[in-house]
Structure 1
Amino acid sequence: MRLGVVLRADTIIRDEGFRQRRVVTPYGPVDRVFSGKLSGTETHFLYGRFPGGRTPSWEIPYQANQSAFDELGVDHVIGTFVVGGVDKVVRGGDLVIPHDLVSFSGPQVSLPPTSGRFSNAHVIPSMCPRLRELLIRGARESGIAVHEDGLYFGFYGFARIETLAELELMDRLGARIVGQTMDPEFTLARQRHAHYAAIAVAIDSYHDMRDESDQDPEEFRARSREAIRYGRERFERIIAAGLASVAREPLAQVCSCARTSKGKHPDMFASFPEELL
C-alpha cells in the first residue's frame, strides 16, 4: 500500500521527519507534498487541496493533485474534509467517516485514461471498505469518538452555503454531512482504480445553520476555527493509529476497488464498443 492523504499533517510531518518534495505533473508542479513512512507504510501528505490561499471549490486543481499521487505511485487515498452537519445528531466538532456520497454536479474534470480508451469509473461501493476499516480501527484504538457511517452530500456551484429548503431536502434524503470538495477528487481517484475513503469534521450543525442569521459571525468563525484545529489533530491520530494497527494485524475487509476487466472491453461501464455504433 502506498498511501496518499489530503491533510495538513503538521505534527506527523514534524515528528516523523517527513520531507517536502515538488512533483511535476502535466497540470503543473505540486510543491506541497510531504513524504515519509508511518508504521512501515509509504505515506504522502498533500498539504491541503488548495494551493496557497483558499479558493472557490471549482478552482481547486483536482487534476494536478491526483496526477501528483499518480507520479508517486499512490494506490490508496484518504481525503479529509471540513463539512456542515445535516443529520440532527451531528454537532459542531463531530467527526464522521462517510460510507457513501451523493454528487449531482460539480467541476467537470477528468483525467486521460491510462489504457488508451475512456471508461467510466466503477464506484459501487464508493468508499473503500478496507480504508474505512483502517479509519474506524484508528478511531477506536485512539479512543476518539466518530460517527462510523454517514452520507456525504456534495453541494456545488454557488459561493454561498445552503438555503433552508436545501438543508431540509438533504435531511429528507438521509444525508449526514454536506460539503463542496469530495468530488471530483473521489472520481479522479476511482478513475485510477485507487482505494478511496474519507473522514470529516463538522464545523456547524443543522441547528446552527438554521439559526445562522441570529448568530454573531465572529463567534461562528471562532467556533469553526476551533473545530478545524480539533479535527486536523484527530485526523492525524486516527490515521497514525490505523496504520499502526494494520502493521500488527492485516485488514479483514476485502474490496474490488483495484479490479479491472481482463476481457476485450475494459468494463461494463465503458463507452459502447465502436463496432456496435
Structure 2
Amino acid sequence: MPMSTAEVAVIGGTGFYTFLDDAEEHPVETPYGAPSAPVSVGTVAGRRVAFLPRHGPHHEHPPHAIPYRANLWALRSLGVRQVIAPCAVGGLSREVAPGDVVVPDQLVDRTWRRASTYVESGAVHLPFADPYCPRVSRALVAAAPDVKAGGAMVVIEGPRFSTRAESQQHTAAGGTLINMTGAPEAALARELRMCYAALALVTDMDAGVEQGSGVGQEEVFSLFRANLDRLKDLLTTAVAGLPDPDGCTCSTWADGIDVTYDIPG
C-alpha cells in the first residue's frame, strides 16, 4: 500500500526516542522482520523527515539485538536517501571530553554476532574505506561551531562495557570514540545506497582513560538526557543544510554492479 515518503531519516540512539512534532506513524513490513518501531514521518526545516528510535520506543532492543537490517530497509522503502544517526559514545582519547559532539570519519567494527549485510549470494563487495558520507558529515559539522570533526569510532558487541585492558587496546590502536550500535548500521545504509553519517555525543570517558570505577549505565543515560534539546537543535540545523544526494558516491558505488538483494524505493 502507498506510504508517505521521506527524504531524510534520523535514527535516535540511547535516550533519543522522539523527535518530530505532528508526525504520522507508519508500520513497515520488511523481508528482515519488523523494525525497532513504526517509522514516524513529519516535516523538519521544510523537508520530509523519518524518525526511528534505534532501541525501540522504550529501549526494548539491546545493542546486539537491534533489527539493523529491518531498520535500514524500512527507511529506504519510504524513499529515504540520507540518514543521520545520533548516538551515545564513550571517549577513548583525551582529544574528547564528556559533553563533546563529534562527527567521526572512521569506524572500527569489533562486533561479531550480528547480521551485518544484505548480501546472501553472488559477488557484491561493498567499498567501505570511508564509512561515513562526506556530504552529510559536512552538514553536521557546520550545524554548530562546537561540533568536532573526525575521529575513529570503535564499535563493540555489548551489552557490557569494556574492561580497562580492552579500552586501552582500542586507544592504542587509534580509537577516539567507543560505541555499541554504529555497526553494522553504517554498512547496511551504504549497501542500500543511502548517505549515512553519525552524530556522536560523548557521555563518558571509557574505562581505560578514566581513573574511577569505570563507566556506568546511569552516567551515560543522564548526560544524554541533559543534551537532548541541544542535539535536536543541531539536527534541525543540519537537516536544513543537507545537500542534494544525487551523484554521491554513497549511491553510485553500485552503478554497473549486479546487486543480488532487494533495494526498495
TM-score, normalising length from structure 1? Answer: 0.78
State the partner residue of 2:149.
148
Matched, 1:168 2:160: no
Matched, 1:243 2:249: no
Write the distance in 2 (CA, Å) between the matches of 1:146 and 1:207. Answer: 24
Corresponding residue to 1:13 among 20, 44, 53: 20
State the identity as a percent: 26
Distance 1:50 1:70, change over 3 A: same
CA RMSD of superposed structures (Å): 3.0
The residue type paired with residue 106 of structure 2 is D
Report how many aligned residue pairs link the two structures: 251
Write the distance in 2 (CA, Å) between the matches of 1:122 and 1:266. Answer: 15
State the partner residue of 1:228.
224
Write the distance in 2 (CA, Å) between the matches of 1:89 and 1:68. Answer: 36
Corresponding residue to 2:126 among 104, 111, 121: 121
Distance 1:225 1:261, change over 3 A: closer
State the partner residue of 2:115.
109
Shift of 1:261: 5.0
Distance 1:56 1:242, change over 3 A: closer
Write the distance in 1 (CA, Å) between the matches of 2:163 and 2:118. Answer: 36
Write the distance in 2 (CA, Å) between the matches of 1:206 and 1:58. Answer: 19
Write the distance in 1 (CA, Å) between the matches of 2:118 and 2:156. Answer: 26
The residue type paired with residue 129 of structure 1 is P
Corresponding residue to 1:259 among 245, 252, 255: 252
State the partner residue of 1:135.
140
Write the distance in 2 (CA, Å) between the matches of 1:207 and 1:35. Answer: 38
Shift of 1:53: 3.4
TM-score, normalising length from structure 2? Answer: 0.82
Write the distance in 2 (CA, Å) between the matches of 1:221 and 1:180. Answer: 13
Query: Structure 2 matches for 1:91-110, cutoff 5 A?
Result: 91-110=97-116
Distance 1:168 1:91, change over 3 A: same
Structure with more of its chain in helix, by fraction:
1
State the partner residue of 2:3.
none
The residue type paired with residue 203 of structure 1 is T
The answer (yes or no) to whether the contact 1:95–1:200 under 8 Å persists in 2 is yes
Distance 1:155 1:135, change over 3 A: same
> Which deviates the most, 43-52 or 171-180?
43-52
The residue type paired with residue 238 of structure 1 is L
Larger radius of gyration: 1
